[in-house]
Chains A and B, each alone.
Chain A
Amino acid sequence: MTGTVRRTGPAPFDMLRASRAGRGTTRTRRVSVLAAAVFVLFAVHARAQTPADTAAAAFKDDVHAAAGLTCVACHTSGVAGAYAAPARTSVAPLCARCHSDAAFMRRFDPQVRIDQFLQYQTSTHGRRMAAGETRVATCTDCHSAHGVRRVTDPRSPVAPLNVTMTCARCHGDPVRMKAFGREATPPADWAASVHAAALLKRGDTSAPTCAACHGSHGATPPGVTAVANVCAQCHLREAELFRASPKKAIFDALGEAECLVCHRNHRIEPPSDARVGLQAGAVCADCHDDSGESAMTIKQVRLDLDRLSAAVSDADALLARAEQAGRPVDEGRLALQAAREHQVQSRALVHAFAVAPFSKTAEEGLGAARRAREAGDAAMREWRVRRTGLGVATLLVLGFLATLWFTIRRLPDPPPG
Chain B
Amino acid sequence: MGARARAWLEERVPLADVVDALRHKRVPHHRYSVWYYFGGMTLFLFGIQVGTGALLLLYYRPSATEAYESVQFIVTRVPFGWLVRSIHAWSSNLMVGCAVAHLFSVLFLHAYRRPRELTWVTGLILLLLTLAFGFTGYLLPWNQISFFATRVGTDIAASVPGVGHGLVRFLRGGNDVTGATLTRLFGFHVAILPAIATALVGLHLLLVQRHGMSVPPSVERDAAGSPGTVRSIPFLPHFILRDLFAWTATLAALAALSTFYPQELGIKADPFAPAPAGIRPEWYFLWAFEALKHVPATIAGINGEFVAVAVMGTGAAAALALPFLVPQTPTGHRVLVWLGVAALAFMGGMTALALTGGAP
Nearest CB in chain B to that of A386: its residue:
B259
Nearest CB in chain A to that of B162: its residue:
A1
Q: How far is the CB of B111 from chain A (nearest CB, A)?
A: 19
Q: Which one of B238, B249, B360 lies within 8 Å of A401 (CB-CB)?
A: B249
Is B319 in contact with chain A by the CB < 8 A criterion? no
Q: With A8-B168, A12-B156, A327-B76 as given contacts, are A414 and B233 in contact (CB-CB < 8 Å)? A: yes
Indicate if the CB atoms of B293 and A408 lie closer than 8 Å.
no
Is B211 in contact with chain A by the CB < 8 A criterion? no
Q: Which one of B155, B256, B262, B264 lies within 8 Å of A394 (CB-CB)?
A: B256
Which residues of chain A are near B234, meaning CB under 8 Å?
Answer: 414, 417
Is B142 in contact with chain A by the CB < 8 A criterion? no
Is A112 in contact with chain B by the CB < 8 A criterion? no
Please report the C-alpha to C-alpha distance between residue A15 and residue B177 in the assembled complex, in whole angstroms.
14
Q: Which one of A8, A23, A386, A400 lies within 8 Å of B155 (CB-CB)?
A: A8
Q: Chain B 244-261, CB within 8 Å of chain A: the 1/0 string?
A: 110011011001100100
Indicate if the CB atoms of B360 and A12 lie closer than 8 Å.
no
Nearest CB in chain A to that of B277: its residue:
A19
Q: Chain B 343-360, CB within 8 Å of chain A: the 1/0 string?
A: 000000000000000001
User: In the complex, which residues 351-381 of chain A have their Cβ closer than 8 Å to any Cβ of chain B?
Assistant: none
Indicate if the CB atoms of A8 and B26 lie closer than 8 Å.
no
Q: Determine the main DSSP class of A at the interface with B.
A: helix
Interface centre among A7, A23, A326, A401 (most CB of B within 10 A): A326
Is B241 in contact with chain A by the CB < 8 A criterion? yes
Nearest CB in chain B to that of A411: its residue:
B238
Please report the C-alpha to C-alpha distance between residue A19 and residue B303 in the assembled complex, in whole angstroms.
23
Which residues of chain B are near A327, meaning CB under 8 Å?
Answer: 76
Is B334 in contact with chain A by the CB < 8 A criterion? no
Indicate if the CB atoms of A12 and B155 lie closer than 8 Å.
yes
Please report the C-alpha to C-alpha distance between residue A324 and residue B76 in the assembled complex, in whole angstroms.
10
Is B56 in contact with chain A by the CB < 8 A criterion? no
Indicate if the CB atoms of B155 and A393 lie closer than 8 Å.
no
Indicate if the CB atoms of B238 and A326 lie closer than 8 Å.
no
Q: How far is the CB of A68 from chain B (nearest CB, A)?
A: 44
Q: Chain A 394-417, CB within 8 Å of chain B: the 1/0 string?
A: 100110110011011001001011
Please report the C-alpha to C-alpha distance between residue A394 and residue B249 in the assembled complex, in whole angstroms.
9
Q: Which one of B29, B276, B305 lies within 8 Å of A19 (CB-CB)?
A: B276
Indicate if the CB atoms of B275 and A7 lie closer than 8 Å.
no
Which residues of chain A are near B107, meaning CB under 8 Å?
Answer: none
Indicate if the CB atoms of B232 and A414 lie closer than 8 Å.
yes
Please report the C-alpha to C-alpha distance between residue A355 and residue B237 in the assembled complex, in whole angstroms.
81
Nearest CB in chain B to that of A7: its residue:
B175
Is A201 in contact with chain B by the CB < 8 A criterion? no
Q: Determine the main DSSP class of B at the interface with A.
A: helix
Indicate if the CB atoms of A1 and B164 lie closer than 8 Å.
yes
Indicate if the CB atoms of A19 and B275 lie closer than 8 Å.
yes
Nearest CB in chain B to that of A324: its residue:
B264
Q: With A12-B156, A414-B234 as given contacts, are A397 and B164 in contact (CB-CB < 8 Å)? A: no
Which residues of chain A are near B244, meaning CB under 8 Å?
Answer: 404
Q: Chain A 322-340, CB within 8 Å of chain B: the 1/0 string?
A: 0011111000000000000
Please report the C-alpha to C-alpha distance between residue A387 and residue B260 in the assembled complex, in whole angstroms.
8
Please report the C-alpha to C-alpha distance between residue A5 and residue B264 in the assembled complex, in whole angstroms.
31
Interface centre among A15, A16, A390 (most CB of B within 10 A): A16
Please report the C-alpha to C-alpha distance between residue A401 and residue B305 in the assembled complex, in whole angstroms.
49
Indicate if the CB atoms of A397 and B155 lie closer than 8 Å.
no
Q: Please, how many residues of chain A have a CB less than 8 angstroms from a CB on the other chain? A: 40
Which residues of chain B are near A4, meaning CB under 8 Å?
Answer: 158, 164-165, 168
Please report the C-alpha to C-alpha distance between residue A394 and residue B254 in the assembled complex, in whole angstroms.
11
Q: Which one of B172, B241, B249 lies within 8 Å of A407 (CB-CB)?
A: B241
Which residues of chain B are near A223, meaning CB under 8 Å?
Answer: none
Q: How far is the CB of B41 from chain A (nearest CB, A)?
A: 15
Is B306 in contact with chain A by the CB < 8 A criterion? yes
Indicate if the CB atoms of A8 and B255 lie closer than 8 Å.
no
Is A20 in contact with chain B by the CB < 8 A criterion? yes
Please report the C-alpha to C-alpha distance between residue A275 and residue B169 in the assembled complex, in whole angstroms.
56
Which residues of chain B are near A401, meaning CB under 8 Å?
Answer: 245, 248-249, 252
Q: Which one of A7, A326, A397 lies within 8 Å of B262 (CB-CB)?
A: A326
Indicate if the CB atoms of A5 and B159 lie closer than 8 Å.
yes
Q: How far is the CB of B286 from chain A (nearest CB, A)?
A: 13
Please report the C-alpha to C-alpha distance between residue A200 and residue B165 in the assembled complex, in whole angstroms.
40
Nearest CB in chain A to that of B175: its residue:
A8
Q: Chain B 26-59, CB within 8 Å of chain A: the 1/0 string?
A: 1001000000000000000000000000000000
Please report the C-alpha to C-alpha distance between residue A328 and residue B231 in the assembled complex, in whole angstroms.
57
User: In the complex, which residues 206-232 of chain A have their Cβ closer than 8 Å to any Cβ of chain B?
Assistant: none
Which residues of chain B are near A397, meaning CB under 8 Å?
Answer: 248-249, 251-252
Known: A15-B275, A327-B76. 14 other contacts (CB 8 A): A1-B161, A1-B306, A5-B305, A8-B176, A11-B155, A325-B262, A398-B252, A401-B248, A401-B252, A404-B241, A408-B241, A411-B237, A414-B233, A417-B26
Interface of B toward A, CB cutoff 8 Å: 26, 29, 75-77, 82, 148, 151-152, 155-156, 158-159, 161, 164-165, 168-169, 172, 175-177, 231-234, 237-238, 241-242, 244-245, 248-249, 251-252, 255-256, 259, 262, 264-265, 274-279, 289, 292-293, 303, 305-306, 360
| The 5 residue pairs across chains A and B that have the minimum distance between CB atoms | A326-B75, A328-B76, A397-B252, A417-B26, A4-B165
Interface of A toward B, CB cutoff 8 Å: 1-2, 4-5, 7-13, 15-16, 18-20, 22-23, 324-328, 386-387, 390, 393-394, 397-398, 400-401, 404-405, 407-408, 411, 414, 416-417
Q: Name 10 interchain pairs, CB-CB below 8 A, sorted by A.
A: A1-B165, A5-B164, A8-B155, A19-B275, A19-B277, A327-B76, A398-B252, A401-B249, A405-B245, A416-B231
